[in-house]
């Protein structure tokens, strides 16, 4: 498929002798927002790491924007695909100013006009210019996550890998970051592959999702399945029920879909 | 039983001294908890909800200071108790479950030993009875093969199991009031529901009072009778859990609206106005 931004085929990933992910196959279309859902230890973050080159022990095929991906870090690759990590308290260097953090990718790739680009990017992620020469500890969690997103966008990538970008944040801050991610995707035509355990966030951000359990994908479903809980796999249904189901669901429709379920 | 409420708090204040003068993190909180009542305290980071929970046990460490006009538990004035008397109350009559089992369990003690210790501090029991109580307690928090688990160390069990061990430890002296401070936020969604169901069952089964502290409004609404919403050290709204959707305070409404829904149709989530605060 030429239109796939990310294409994984028969991906197996291991850490040492332990195989943690098996037979993962899916395509994410260009401009799509795709979610990987599952519990801790299901291997969802590992899939992202393998794509980003942080978990090099894999077999199978990984290609991003039509180009096959090698096993290590790759300079050309990082211009097209960037990752945002879960915990903004851990992912920013404590002794580098925001300006240094944001200019670094430009310096590594030999790109000029760094100052203008930093200023522009701070504006794009909704951070005031006064934060430019501050250190991470002077920023709140939400502000730090904005910096982490800005850093990932500095090289103008087309594909973003998001690893639980809001799970360390408060509800109201989460809303701001989700809005920001949604706006950036619309403005810059980005493709998202997002890992999360929060099903309502999937409903807000994503078009499709893959549900993972014990290192395997058990189901790929459109986000509309969240409206009525029409999942085929029993594990997914349990996960959906544990998340509280959909309290806004039309009871008649929900009952109808339930009775259809066995078929 | 008497008509005395289980817990009565009037004008509770917690402050921390800083170079710029004292900062109040809880500003005059009032609360009454009936016997067998389940109260939820909801708020975001820094709202003072955890400080409220801790101050009931007088666990605010120096330089923090707590004052209260009334802090009465089962007719007993907690502010007037000495440290030694407070130690008799903590654990035995009021218990607290902390957020993360990874940091709250002693890594070099077996699980059985830790649970037994919690009981031994308050009751003198022969060793055989002690073991029996530990196994019985592990059974009641639905741990399979309790004899085997009792011999394990905390790093050998999963997060959900660790939290169950914590619950066992906190409930074994049969307290009258349980304070659960974010008991499930370190756990997976599916395990979350199990742990909360367990807490609910044990609390109602033993006729205990419960204060559930969390940042998750919907979760608290599912497990409590009454809800208090805190923001900036103050209670902004108190209502019955069933009436949460009728909440009137703008902050509560904002929190409810900011949460993505299972069936999301909005293009953008409404965001709380932070012009008064520090901003994100």
pLDDT tens digit sequence for A83-110: 999 888 889 999 999 999 999 999 999 9
Residue A71 confidence (pLDDT): 84
Please check the confidence at residue A205 and state whether its pLDDT lies above 50.
yes
Please check the confidence at residue B69 and state whether its pLDDT lies above 90.
yes
Please check the confidence at residue B144 and state whether its pLDDT lies above 80.
yes
Q: Which of A170, A173, A178 sits opposite B260 (nearest CB)?
A: A178
Please check the confidence at residue A184 and state whether its pLDDT lies above 60.
yes
Which residue in chain A has the smallest CA separation from B222? A244
Tell me the C-alpha distance between B204 and A165, whole Å: 37
Is residue B51 included in any domain, yes or no? yes
Tell me the backbone φ, ψ of residue B269, rounded to 5 degrees: -85, 135
Which residue in chain A has the smallest CA separation from B44? A170
Is residue B2 included in any domain, yes or no? no
Give me the CATH number covering residue B185: 3.40.50.300
In angstroms, the separation between the Cα of residue A108 and the nearest Cα of chain B is 30
pLDDT tens digit sequence for A113-157: 999 999 999 998 989 999 999 999 999 888 999 999 999 999 999
Strands A159-163, A216-222: pairing kind = unpaired
- B-chain residues within 8 Å CB-CB of A195? none
Contact B271 A175 (CB under 8 A): yes
What is the total count of domains within chain B? 1
Please check the confidence at residue A209 and state whether its pLDDT lies above 60.
yes
pLDDT tens digit sequence for A40-54: 888 898 999 999 988
pLDDT tens digit sequence for A57-69: 999 999 999 888 8
CB A203 within 8 A of CB B266: no
Provide the number of CB pairs (under 8 Å) joining chain A to chain B: 97
3-state secondary structure of B254: helix
Average pLDDT over residues B239-264: 88
Query: Which residues, 6+ apart, have CB-to-CB distance to B255 below 8 Å?
Result: A171, A172, B42, B44, B217, B229, B272
Contact A239 B189 (CB under 8 A): yes
CA nearest neighbour of A159 among A29, A53, A56, A57: A29
Q: Which of A170, A178, A198 sits opposite B45 (nearest CB)?
A: A170
Tell me the C-alpha distance between A150 and A144, whole Å: 10
> Which site among B185, B219, B260, B275 would you substitute to test the A interface, given the most A Cβ atoms closer than 10 Å to its Cβ?
B260
Is residue B268 included in any domain, yes or no? no
Q: Which of B193, B262, B280 sits opposite A226 (nearest CB)?
A: B262
> Which site among B158, B250, B264 would you substitute to test the A interface, given the most A Cβ atoms closer than 10 Å to its Cβ?
B264
Tell me the C-alpha distance between A50 and A64, whole Å: 12
Six-digit token pair at A250? 């039309």
Contact A179 B271 (CB under 8 A): yes
3-state secondary structure of A212: strand
In angstroms, the separation between the Cα of residue A249 and the nearest Cα of chain B is 8
Six-digit token pair at A8? 């994984």
Q: Which of B193, B269, B278 sits opposite A175 (nearest CB)?
A: B269
Q: Which of B44, B159, B261 sits opposite A200 (nearest CB)?
A: B261
Give, as one character, the DSSP assignment of residue A159. E
Length of chain B, in residues: 280
Bond from prior residue into B63 cis (ω within 30 degrees of 0): yes
Residue B1 confidence (pLDDT): 52
Average pLDDT over residues B30-54: 90
Please check the confidence at residue A259 and state whether its pLDDT lies above 50.
no
Residue B2 confidence (pLDDT): 57
Tell me the C-alpha distance between B154 and B165, whole Å: 9
Give, as one character, the DSSP assignment of residue B246. G
Please check the confidence at residue A252 and state whether its pLDDT lies above 80.
no
pLDDT band at A73 (very low <50, low <70, confident <90, very high): confident
Residue B116 confidence (pLDDT): 93
Contact B263 A245 (CB under 8 A): no
Tell me the C-alpha distance between B253 and B236, whole Å: 11
- B-chain residues within 8 Å CB-CB of A171? 44, 215-217, 255, 258-259
- Strand residues in chain A grouped as ranges (E): 4-15, 18-29, 33-37, 58-64, 67-68, 81-84, 159-163, 191-196, 208-213, 216-222
Query: Which residues, 6+ apart, have CB-to-CB distance to B154 below 8 Å?
Result: B101, B102, B105, B106, B107, B111, B162, B165
Contact B188 A199 (CB under 8 A): no
Query: Pick the residue with more confidence: B106 or B2?
Result: B106
> Which site among A130, A172, A253 would you substitute to test the B interface, given the most B Cβ atoms closer than 10 Å to its Cβ?
A172
> Which site among B46, B157, B187, B189 would you substitute to test the A interface, given the most A Cβ atoms closer than 10 Å to its Cβ?
B189
Is residue B270 included in any domain, yes or no? no
Exposure of B246 by Cβ count < 10 A (0-12 exposed, 13-18 middle, 19+ buried)?
exposed
Is residue B278 included in any domain, yes or no? no
Residue B226 confidence (pLDDT): 93
Contact A171 B217 (CB under 8 A): yes
* ipTM score of complex: 0.74
CA nearest neighbour of A90 among A25, A141, A126: A141
Exposure of A237 by Cβ count < 10 A (0-12 exposed, 13-18 middle, 19+ buried)?
middle
Give, as one character, the DSSP assignment of residue A152. H
Q: Provide the edge-to-edge strand list for the sheet that holds B94-97.
A: B94-97, B177-181, B209-214, B38-42, B226-231, B234-240
pLDDT band at A250 (very low <50, low <70, confident <90, very high): low
Residue A257 confidence (pLDDT): 45
Strands A159-163, A191-196: pairing kind = parallel
Average pLDDT over residues B66-88: 91
pLDDT tens digit sequence for A153-179: 999 999 999 998 988 788 888 898 999
Residue B63 belongs to domain spanning: 7-258
Percent of residues, chain A, with pLDDT higher than 90:
61
> Which site among A171, A176, A202 would you substitute to test the B interface, given the most B Cβ atoms closer than 10 Å to its Cβ?
A171
Residue B67 confidence (pLDDT): 92
CATH 3.30.830.10 given to domain A4-80+157-260: no
Is residue B269 included in any domain, yes or no? no
Percent of residues, chain B, with pLDDT higher than 90:
41
pLDDT tens digit sequence for B151-175: 999 988 888 888 889 888 988 888 9
pLDDT band at B11 (very low <50, low <70, confident <90, very high): very high
Give, as one character, the DSSP assignment of residue B241. G
CA nearest neighbour of A37 among A246, A257, A221: A221
- Strand residues in B35-164 grouped as ranges (E): 38-42, 64-67, 70-73, 76-77, 94-97
Sign of CA dihedral B272, B273, B277, B280: positive
Q: Give the B-side interface with A, CB within 8 Å.
A: 44-45, 159, 188-193, 215-218, 222, 254-255, 258-264, 266-272, 278-280
Is residue B59 included in any domain, yes or no? yes
Please check the confidence at residue B62 and state whether its pLDDT lies above 90.
no
Q: Which of B217, B222, B280 sits opposite A173 (nearest CB)?
A: B280
pLDDT tens digit sequence for B200-230: 888 888 889 999 999 888 888 889 999 999 9
In angstroms, the separation between the Cα of residue A89 and the nearest Cα of chain B is 14
Residue B261: CA count within 13 A, CB half-sphere:
16
Question: pLDDT averaged over chain B?
Answer: 87
Would you list the domain boundaries of chain A?
Answer: 4-80+157-260
Is residue B279 included in any domain, yes or no? no
In angstroms, the separation between the Cα of residue B9 and the nearest Cα of chain A is 27
Contact A226 B190 (CB under 8 A): no
Quote the distance between the C-alpha of residue B278 and its chain's center.
27
In angstroms, the separation between the Cα of residue A74 and the nearest Cα of chain B is 34
Contact A200 B259 (CB under 8 A): yes
- Please tell me the least confidently modeled range out of A54-58, A183-187, B271-275: B271-275
């Amino acid at each position: 498929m030429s239109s796939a931004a990310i294409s994984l085929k028969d991906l197996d990933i291991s850490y040492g002798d332990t195989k943690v992910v098996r037979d993962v196959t899916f395509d994410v279309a260009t401009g799509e927002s795709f979610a990987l859902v599952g519990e801790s230890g299901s291997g969802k973050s590992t899939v992202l790491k393998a794509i980003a080159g942080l978990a090099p022990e894999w077999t199978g095929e990984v290609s991003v924007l039509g180009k096959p991906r090698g096993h290590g870090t790759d300079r050309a690759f990082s211009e097209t695909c960037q990752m945002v990590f879960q915990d903004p308290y851990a992912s920013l260097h404590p002794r580098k100013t925001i300006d240094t953090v944001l200019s670094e990718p430009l310096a590594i790739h030999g790109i000029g006009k760094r100052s203008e680009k930093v200023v522009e990017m701070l504006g794009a992620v909704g951070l005031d210019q006064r934060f430019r020469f501050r250190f991470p500890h002077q920023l709140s969690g939400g502000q730090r996550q904005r910096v982490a997103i800005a850093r990932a966008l500095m090289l103008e990538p087309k594909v973003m890998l998001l690893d639980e970008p809001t799970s360390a944040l408060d509800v109201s801050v989460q809303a701001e970051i989700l809005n920001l991610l949604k706006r950036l995707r619309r403005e810059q035509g980005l493709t998202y592959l997002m890992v999360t355990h929060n099903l309502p966030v999937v409903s807000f951000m994503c078009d499709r999702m893959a549900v993972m359990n014990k290192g395997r994908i058990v189901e790929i479903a459109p986000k509309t399945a969240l409206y009525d809980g029409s999942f085929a796999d029993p594990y997914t249904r349990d996960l959906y029920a544990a998340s509280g189901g959909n309290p806004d669901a039309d009871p008649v429709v929900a009952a109808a879909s339930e009775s259809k379920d066995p078929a | 039983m008497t008509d005395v409420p289980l817990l009565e708090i009037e004008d509770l204040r917690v402050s921390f001294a800083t170079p710029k003068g004292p900062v109040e993190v809880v500003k005059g909180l009032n609360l009454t908890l009936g016997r067998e009542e389940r109260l939820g305290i909801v708020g975001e980071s820094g709202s003072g909800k955890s400080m409220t929970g801790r101050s009931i046990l007088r666990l605010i460490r120096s330089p923090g200071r707590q004052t209260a006009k009334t802090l009465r538990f089962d007719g007993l004035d907690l502010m007037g108790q000495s440290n030694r008397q407070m130690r008799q109350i903590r654990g035995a009559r009021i218990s607290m479950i902390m957020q993360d089992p990874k940091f709250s369990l002693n890594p070099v003690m077996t699980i059985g030993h830790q649970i037994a210790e919690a009981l031994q501090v308050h009751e003198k029991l022969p060793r055989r009875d002690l073991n029996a109580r530990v196994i019985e307690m592990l059974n009641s928090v639905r741990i399979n093969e309790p004899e085997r688990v009792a011999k394990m160390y905390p790093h050998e069990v999963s997060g959900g199991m660790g939290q169950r061990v914590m619950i066992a430890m906190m409930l074994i002296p049969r307290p009258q009031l349980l304070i659960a401070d974010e008991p499930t936020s370190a756990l997976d969604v599916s395990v979350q529901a199990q742990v909360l169901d367990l807490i609910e069952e044990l609390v109602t089964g033993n006729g205990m009072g419960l204060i559930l502290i969390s940042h998750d409004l919907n979760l608290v609404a599912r497990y409590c009778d009454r809800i208090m919403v805190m923001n900036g050290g103050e209670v902004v709204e108190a209502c019955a859990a069933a009436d949460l959707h009728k909440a009137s305070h703008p902050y509560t409404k904002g929190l409810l609206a900011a949460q993505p829904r299972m069936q999301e149709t909005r293009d953008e989530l409404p965001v709380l106005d932070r012009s008064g605060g520090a901003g994100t």
